[in-house]
Structure 1
Amino acid sequence: MTPVVPCALPAARELVEPVLRAAVDRLDPVTRRVAAYHFGWADPQGRPADGGGKALRPALVVLSSKAAGAEPDLPAAAAVELVHAFSLLHDDIMDGDRTRRHRPAAWALFGRAEAILAGDALLSLAGELLAVAGTPGHAAVARSLGAATRRLIAGQAADLAFERRGEVGLEECLRMSSDKTGALLSCACAAGALAAGAGDGLTRALAAFGEEAGLAFQLVDDLLGIWGSPEITGKPVLSDLRARKKTLPVVAALTGGTPAGARLAGLLARPGPLPERDLREAAGLVEDAGGRAWAEAEAKHRLDVAHRRLADAGLPAAVHAEFLDVAAFITARDH
């Protein structure tokens, strides 16, 4: 059963998309075409299209504003989404992923150099939006977003490095995942409150909620990267194993001290591309070694911790419920 999309997501998308489009329209024609395609606003020929992501991070920024008793802060919401879009453009190139959201990835269609430049342009637009807004609150958001971006880059660098290493510890893999995914979600959950000049107690509680929810999200994403169907993920089946990525279920299996984990290590160490039968065997070994069960349990644990961190924020009941709805949606197993 497909989970119900929380009302906060389409509402945030409707609010923030005009700001994003206006920012992207300032780019040169070549870069603008790549960016518009990546956002789902245009087809490969540049004709209007009705697509795009879930607007998860803008929704969290809007809810963060509501948590502080303020109107939605659209520059902050758009800036966070621009950084997310930048990271996806570059991530697809680094991982060699040729599809995103059931379409060719931007780099596979327009070229690596063009996609890199589009990502760079979106990152620069994020800073520009906050600078133009010009309030002390937006300066605080800019600092937070800059720190989150550095963590995101550090997490991606570690992710790439892990692919070349024979052994990776579970704690360092958790840290990588927290940097790669949790940092930007944490920033989004606090950005609206920061822009509104809210106190440290509220912003820290919201950031802590986002950090834990982000790690739960990454754990679920890692599970889908092995066992998710292409119709749901928009990527080929067993894609993470095909790339030999040291995702959390894989590292949990490899470090569990089981015979299945040892067999998995030997299989992943084989040179050359793994045939489909070996990829299917590897998925079975991850499960036999306890990696799947551990990741499922850890995702639930992180979500429980996120709930406790949100309780510390002392939010109005309606806003509290909306944050929980978004967290439940992004950690559902079937999307």
Structure 2
Amino acid sequence: MIIGQDEAVGRFVAAWSSRTPHHAWLLAGPKGVGKARFAEAAALRVLAEAAGPVPEGAGLEVSPEHRIAHLFEAGSHPDYRRLERGMNKAGTGLARNISVAQVRELSHLFAVTPSLSDWRVIVIDSADDLEVSAANALLKMLEEPPVKTLFFLVTHAPGRLLPTIRSRCRRLDFAPLSEGDVARVLETALPKADGQERARLASLSGGSAGRAVAIAEHDLTPLAETARLLMRDGDPTNGKRAALAKSLSLKAAADRYAIFLSMLPGLVAQEARGAEGARRAALLAAYAEARRTAQLAPRLSSDPASTIYVLTGHLAAAARHG
């Protein structure tokens, strides 16, 4: 089930039902709102309908007992490909990009007829990760698409893609989820969490179920509370700021640092909604700085400790107007 994205699901289902859908779909929206899950569900539904028997219902659902669902579960469907970052050459982590070699591998798929039906599906998660030569290789495929082949391009930042790629895709926008929808996703993603914890995570998620899961996995709710206290009580001795900076600057804390930065703008925005006058102005300034830092700091490889220390100074400044 794709929670909270009924409009996107409905638009695709209507297009697929015509049996003349656009060959390439750009799935655009924030991280963690269901774009990749939609792409997989749509791919499974398309290939299950094409191969038969046709699944019940008019949406994207396919019974896990369907023969095509079994192939998907095993990762062995011959007419489906998913492109994502692989391991780096050292085998120590993910590569920085999806390589041109990965894209060119698709030519082998297109060189033969489909195996189980007359349709094929390609999912690229995410198109933002394509290296330049890979993006150009994909563009050639989109310009002259193979017959009865669907491309689903997941993107968190569509403006950074080649304009020529965007122009050859039909765009589906995925909006941030409501807190209620995030909590519903967490019922499955975090079954051991109680309702109160899921609600707390949803309030910190900024509409991203993926971020809520990451916040839970990296135990960031205590740090969120520290950030709230900075905005309300300040930090006369700078002790809270220093401790927060230290906890997020360790070499093993790179993921926690990135997730904390992505969480912070929403946290500041929540505080600003209930503020007035000079305090509200200070919080809005802190929000702008938090948002700018969240966008730039991970890409600039800036020092985490100094980044957090400076950023939380903007939070503590708001307390002076409390």
Is the pair's TM-score, using the shorter chain for normalization, greater than 0.5?
no
Higher helix fraction (1 or 2): 1
TM-score, L = length of structure 1: 0.29
**Larger radius of gyration, structure 1 or 2?**
2
